Amino acid sequence: MRRTILVADDDSFTRNLFEGLFRQTPARVEFARNAAQARQLFKETDFNLIIMDQRLPDGSGLDLLREMRAERPQQMAVLITAYADVRDAVRAVREGLFDYLTKPFEHIEELEVVIEKALELDRAYREINALRASINADPKEPVFIGASPPVEQVLQQVRQIAKLDITILLEGESGTGKDLLAKLIHNAGPRRQGPFLELNCGAMSESLLETTLFGFQRGAFTGANKNTPGYFEQADGGTLFLDEIADMSPKLQSTLLSVLQNRRFTRLGSTKVQHSDFRLICATNRRLADEVVAGRFREDLFYRINVVDIRLPPLRERTDDIVLLAVHFLELFNSRFHKSVGPFNPEAIHKLEQASWPGNVRQLQHLVERVVALHAGGPISDADLELHINEAEQNVSPSAGKQPRSLLSYREEREAFEKEYLQRVLLAAKGNVSEAARLSGVARQNLYTRMKRLGIDTQP
């Protein structure tokens, strides 16, 4: 998309400077010598960026920008000001202006960076608005935010297979949006009118997961006061999404395989055979093929659920989407908290783009949520982000601050993190596995299984 820029300045030297600056770019630039011309051009064209001199022959550039932003609140605008007018420019930035530049321009590189970041933020707002338009067309449809090549490749795969009633495996690091993509596939498929049931296999003990999947008859065990259908039964005609499938115990892997082979099962405590026709979508934050090689996942079940495999890229592989996602979350939490925080200033955008995001999109979402919740209002600076990014990355990466070591595979890195974390939890719980389960939020049986697999001694 060709970008259009308005430069309003009565100084011929400044106009010539910007004309030369944009000569080698695909942007179309319109020039105005006064407020009246700028106002007329604004009515005729939807500009991606307006660069406005503070002092125009027939009025105040700052007042004109306020007038323009009242009509188009998301209009990206930069004020050109003399040093004497900086206080007005700072006040304007607090009101939502993207940035200001002081004349004479001593560093053209700085000028180029401000323009680049302003256009980047404008692109993000426009893409978010387009996505919102699609949401309004179908409010049930989830939206997977992103426009980078890796995300477009994922969405292309979804478009190809969503309407095919086949089993799908989603692989990707934690926080990449596997649950959102599963809902998108369901809503775009032939079972969209049916139920969508989601179950996290890593958050339940083996017995609770079995009960939830199969259901139970009254009297099957203590506390079974009524007949209760399980997720297999409830998902009939719809989609069953099993997240963290790699954490399923060997016993349940075997029973799941049996169900998938003939779509028949019985509730716990019953002899009546039930039938259910559901679509299965599984997800894992590990590479399931590696789990098969390691003997932790059944090979026959792997081939049964791995009909189509979609890999979700981590945020570090789709950096073009960082600003887009940040703007989306900023608008979301401003609306939710009834606040008016933002926009991100150029330094904040640079900070977002340079962060490592080990927690992926979920980490970015939580960061923006905290910033909006704690911010008094107005633009977000890099200083506003600094503390939250550092805290989040220390929480995600417990090895931060240690001496660097050789890079391991993703599976080895994940296991090293998991082992160190569980050892710390067990130490905090003074060796009590039940207390460690409470502190970590992981079901006791799953926690015990993971500790045993990682070679952690659970004996006091």
Give the pairing type, strands 308-311 and 228-229.
Answer: unpaired
Query: How many CB atoms are located within 10 Å of the residue 180 CB?
Result: 15
**CA dist list (Å): 110 to 105, 113, 218, 321, 384:** 9, 5, 72, 23, 21
Contact (Cβ atoms closer than 8 angstroms) between residue 284 and residue 245: yes
- How does pLDDT run across 297-326, given as a tens digit for each residue? 999 999 999 999 999 999 999 999 999 999
Position 458 confidence tier, pLDDT thresholds 50, 70, 90 = low
DSSP 315: G
- How does pLDDT run across 162-198, given as a tens digit for each residue? 999 999 999 999 999 999 999 999 999 999 999 999 9
Give the pairing type, strands 228-229 and 215-216.
Answer: antiparallel
Domains and CATH numbers, the chain: 4-105 (3.40.50.2300), 149-311 (3.40.50.300), 316-396 (1.10.8.60), 410-453 (1.10.10)
Which residue from 357, 361, 358, 296 is spatially nearest to 326, judged by alpha carbons? 361
Tell me phi and psi for residue 316, to 5 degrees: -65, -20
Confidence at residue 421, expressed as pLDDT on a 0 to 100 scale: 76
Contact (Cβ atoms closer than 8 angstroms) between residue 299 and residue 246: no
- How does pLDDT run across 233-278, given as a tens digit for each residue? 999 999 999 999 999 999 999 999 999 998 999 999 888 999 999 9
Tell me phi and psi for residue 27, to 5 degrees: -70, 145
**Distance, CA of 80 to CA of 100 (rounded, Å):** 6
Query: How many CB atoms are located within 10 Å of the residue 157 CB?
Result: 17
